[in-house]
A and B are shown apart, each in its own frame.
Chain A
Amino acid sequence: MKQTKEDAVLRVENLKQYFTSGFGKKKIVVKAVDDISFTINKGEAFGLVGESGCGKTTTGRSIIRLYEPTGGNVYFNGKLISRKLSKEEKKSVTRGIQMIFQDPIASLNPRMTVKEIIGEGLKINNLCDNEEHMMELIYNMLETVGLTKDHATRYPHEFSGGQRQRIGIARALITNPDLVIADEPISALDVSIQAQVLNLLNELKKKLGLTVLFIAHDLSVVKYFSDTIGVMYNGKIVELAKSEELYKYPLHPYTKSLLSAIPLADPNYERHRKRIYYDPSIHNYDKEEPELVEIRPGHFIYASKSEIEQYKVLI
């Protein structure tokens, strides 16, 4: 993976997002995202995995500026967007980056019809000439995500969970975004519906050439959907590689433990499974500063110098 600067849709450099609570002596700083960098190229799906609280959702939200980043730079289509933006610039950024949320019930306004929900982005960004043009775009989009024309006048509560998530996807795609951030888009859905939505996203990715930042906790889903995977732990990206490479040659002990913990629908395998538990205290970072190093072409790992020597033996 050559991370060239030209065709990068999103480039994140040393992004930091700290949350503080309390004052004076009681002040606590939580380093939700602590100095992470990655690049997403055009047409690529980048997966972020990790357990809850590792900062994967915060990363997505800092990029789209739902939070003000504490430090670091975010470049979108080559332009720095993690600074103070004028109103116009903000508009172009929010048109270009769209988000699909986890909970399809909470993320749709119950008092708006589907038409209004999807059309809102068109109106705000002046992407349609008149009412008719808008309806045409909405109908087309509904069809793309597997809904029908007569769904447009209904309210969110009239739909099932899977259909609501389709509305969420339609709302994100209507502005023709350059980057879609999908934050756990299927984890709130039923098993049989999860596959439907996952297939839809995959199909849209291929058809429209979407660039996606896919955030999820389920490594098998992320591996299926993404080209590149970043594994996050405790606010840091500990390993970053092509999905096949990461699955075949995991190096970081946390990635290994994550891979060994995924339950497989295979009873014989489960009977003989050996789990690897990750103990963060095995790293001794007192003397050496760890950093994200390219250990194989396209395979990055967060480690100190002496650890890299150890990992190199394993390859």
Chain B
Amino acid sequence: MENREKVLQIKDLYITFNTFSGKVHAVRGVNFDLHKGETLAIVGESGSGKSVTNKTIMGILAKNANIEKGEILYNGKDLTKFNDKEFTKIRGSEISMIFQDPMSSLDPVMKIGKQITEAMLVKGNITKEEAKKKAIKLMGAVGIPHPEKRYEQYPFQFSGGMRQRIVIAIALACDPDILICDEPTTALDVTIQAQILDLIKEIQKERQISVIFITHDLGVVANMADRVAVMYAGKIVETGTVDEIFYDPKHPYTWSLLASMPDLDTDATDELLVIPGTPPNMLYPPKGDAFAPRNRYAMEIDFKEEPPMFRVSDTHYAATWLLHPSAPKIDMPDALKIRIEKQQERQVLQNETN
């Protein structure tokens, strides 16, 4: 994995928003790389800065946002220094985005066909007929039946899942290298969600594109991701391969996230591992570790000093003082341990039956 080409590098990114009540520190020092052909999942609650980070990559931040510090390297160029004109060149054709709500990201009074071909025609180098042909082919590729007929229809004539397929077709219209999916299935039903996830995976394999997948649903992450970054209060608190994060998590926040929702094995008598309190107000980012007030394993130092990223393995890093050599040894909570053991049992069973 390390030898893979890095298509995108984000270095020490700080973003703030000017609001009437003060400066909101939305992103506070985010670092990550995106390799070619991989899926990186960014997990976090609302307000953790995951969407803001990705809006910065696309250059679609709101006007009151400031990039305080840091760089986003793409093809050797720093995207944070780009102006609107330069962004227009790469948006769609090199970096593309799928949004959460398929109802509001489509124009209700524009035919589907026009919405898909719009970006191709703006980029030039293509005639209308070619664009139409390409669009119909794309619609077929994202699983829309009778694309020729559907080409002439309006968004209201499509169901939620079909609309999300159209949004994906639009995002793919100019053959991007990087696809950013911002909670693409949150507004959909489980059965439809499964179809859309399969579709994104298939497209990724076929076109060898890199995907950044933003979500708060750990089940979806387990299904989609090669690598995972867990964000909390504007920072990445743990990053690693999907197996490392799910089977050997190190950060207390990741522990709680994994054990906080019931899965189908959870008995009704088991109590869920609750994270007490609420996320911090980013108007006044806390001193020390932002998760400390909600962390049952917090030590004195957590309230004073921010933990650096400790190395667990070459691919696995976590920002918690618990990994410091002189910290007391604390294992993950029992509820989570039992859950992971159950998963491993199931895996053994599965291998036997195969």
Q: Indicate whether A and B interact.
A: yes
A263 to B196, CA, bound (A): 13
Total residues of chain A contacting the partner, CB 8 A: 44
Q: Chain A residue with minimal CB distance to B294?
A: A192
A-B Cβ contacts below 8 A, count: 130
Contacts known (A261-B191, A265-B219); A190 close to B46, Cβ less than 8 A: yes
A278 at the interface (CB under 8 A from B): yes
A294 at the interface (CB under 8 A from B): no
A236 at the interface (CB under 8 A from B): no
A199 to B193, CA, bound (A): 26
B191 touches A51 (CB 8 A): yes
A100 to B308, CA, bound (A): 43
Q: Chain A residue with minimal CB distance to B46?
A: A190
A217 at the interface (CB under 8 A from B): yes
Chain B 168-195 interface residues, beta-carbon cutoff 8 Å to A:
189-194
A268 touches B347 (CB 8 A): yes
| Whole-angstrom distance between the Cβ of A254 and the nearest chain B Cβ | 9
Please choose the segment from B3-11, B84-92, B149-157, B263-271 that sits at the chain A interface, where 4 or more of its residues have CB less than 8 A away: B263-271
Contacts known (A192-B256, A219-B190, A261-B191); A224 close to B219, Cβ less than 8 A: no
Residue in contact with A258 in the complex, picked from B190, B198, B354, CB distance below 8 Å: B190
| Whole-angstrom distance between the Cβ of B156 and the nearest chain A Cβ | 15
A267 touches B242 (CB 8 A): yes
B139 at the interface (CB under 8 A from A): no
* Contact digits for A248-273, partner B, Cβ 8 Å, 1 yes 0 no: 00000000011111111111111011
A137 at the interface (CB under 8 A from B): no
A194 at the interface (CB under 8 A from B): yes
Contacts known (A190-B45, A190-B46, A273-B223); A264 close to B264, Cβ less than 8 A: yes
B261 touches A191 (CB 8 A): yes
A156 at the interface (CB under 8 A from B): no
Chain A 41-66 interface residues, beta-carbon cutoff 8 Å to B:
51-52
B190 touches A217 (CB 8 A): yes
Residue in contact with B262 in the complex, picked from A160, A192, A223, CB distance below 8 Å: A223
Q: Which chain A residues lie closer than 8 Å to B192 at the CB level?
A: 51
Contacts known (A191-B216, A192-B256, A223-B262); A261 close to B222, Cβ less than 8 A: no
A265 touches B258 (CB 8 A): yes
Please choose the segment from B127-135, B273-281, B318-326 that sits at the chain A interface, where 4 or more of its residues have CB less than 8 A away: B273-281
Q: Which chain A residues lie closer than 8 Å to B205 at the CB level?
A: none
Chain A 266-288 interface residues, beta-carbon cutoff 8 Å to B:
266-270, 272-273, 275, 277-278
A89 to B172, CA, bound (A): 59
Q: Which chain A residues lie closer than 8 Å to B217 at the CB level?
A: 191, 263
Q: Which chain A residues lie closer than 8 Å to B191 at the CB level?
A: 51, 257-258, 261, 277-278
A162 at the interface (CB under 8 A from B): yes
Q: Chain B residue with minimal CB distance to A222?
A: B262
A195 touches B260 (CB 8 A): yes
A195 touches B264 (CB 8 A): no
A153 at the interface (CB under 8 A from B): no
Contacts known (A52-B189, A265-B221, A267-B242); A193 close to B278, Cβ less than 8 A: yes
Q: Chain B residue with minimal CB distance to A162?
A: B278
A263 touches B260 (CB 8 A): no
A269 touches B343 (CB 8 A): yes
A221 to B217, CA, bound (A): 13
B266 touches A220 (CB 8 A): yes
B262 touches A221 (CB 8 A): yes
A190 touches B343 (CB 8 A): no
A250 to B243, CA, bound (A): 30
* Contact digits for B193-205, partner A, Cβ 8 Å, 1 yes 0 no: 1100110000000
A225 at the interface (CB under 8 A from B): yes
A257 to B195, CA, bound (A): 12
Q: Chain A residue with minimal CB distance to B253?
A: A192
Contacts known (A266-B222, A266-B343); A261 close to B190, Cβ less than 8 A: yes
B261 touches A219 (CB 8 A): no
Q: Which chain A residues lie closer than 8 Å to B193 at the CB level?
A: 261, 263
A195 touches B273 (CB 8 A): yes
Q: Which chain A residues lie closer than 8 Å to B263 at the CB level?
A: 220, 264-265
A195 to B262, CA, bound (A): 8
A192 touches B343 (CB 8 A): no
A224 touches B274 (CB 8 A): no
Contacts known (A220-B266, A261-B191, A265-B263); A196 close to B258, Cβ less than 8 A: no
B52 at the interface (CB under 8 A from A): no
Q: Which chain A residues lie closer than 8 Å to B260 at the CB level?
A: 191-192, 194-195
| Whole-angstrom distance between the Cβ of A73 and the nearest chain B Cβ | 31
A223 to B262, CA, bound (A): 9
A147 at the interface (CB under 8 A from B): no
| Whole-angstrom distance between the Cβ of A107 and the nearest chain B Cβ | 19
* Contact digits for A72-99, partner B, Cβ 8 Å, 1 yes 0 no: 0000000000000000000000000000
Contacts known (A224-B262, A261-B190, A263-B219); A196 close to B274, Cβ less than 8 A: yes
Q: Apart from A191-B45, A258-B191, A263-B197, what are 4 other A-B pairs with CB-CB below 8 Å?
A: A51-B189, A264-B264, A268-B343, A269-B347
Provide a sorted-by-A list of 16 A–B residue pairs whose CB atoms are within 8 angstroms: A162-B278, A190-B279, A191-B261, A192-B260, A192-B279, A195-B272, A198-B272, A220-B266, A223-B264, A227-B268, A257-B191, A263-B220, A265-B221, A266-B222, A269-B350, A277-B191
Which B residues are closer than 8 A to A by beta carbons?
A: 45-46, 160, 189-194, 197-198, 216-223, 225, 242-243, 246-247, 256-258, 260-264, 266, 268, 271-276, 278-279, 343, 346-347, 350, 354
The 8 closest A-B pairs by CB, nearest first: A263-B219, A224-B262, A195-B260, A51-B189, A265-B218, A192-B275, A270-B223, A261-B194
